């Protein structure tokens, strides 16, 4: 995982997932988790992009 991916995962989790996986199931899950709370979105983005 690159430094840019880590920074984007912390600041904008859905964008980091989108750049790695495109629009799909993981992106939708990331958006929903980020809306529900920033921390779950960050955790999901870090796990998915790892």
Q: How many domains does the chain have?
A: 1
List the structure tokens of 50: 């790892």
Range of the domain at 7: 3-49
List CB contacts of 30: < 8 A, sequence separation 6 or more. 13, 14, 17, 18, 41, 44, 45, 48
pLDDT value for 2: 86
pLDDT tens digits, residue range 1-49?
789 999 999 999 999 999 999 999 999 999 999 999 999 999 999 999 9
Buried residues in 33-42 as b, exposed as e (16+ CB within 10 A): bbeeeeebbb
List the structure tokens of 48: 């998915």
List the structure tokens of 16: 């980091």
Query: What's this model's pTM, rounded to 2 decimal places?
Result: 0.88
């Amino acid at each position: 995982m690159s430094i840019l991916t880590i920074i984007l995962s912390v600041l904008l989790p859905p964008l980091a997932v989108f750049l790695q996986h495109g629009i799909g199931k993981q992106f939708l899950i990331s958006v929903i988790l980020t809306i529900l709370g920033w921390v779950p979105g960050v955790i999901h983005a870090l796990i998915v992009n790892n």
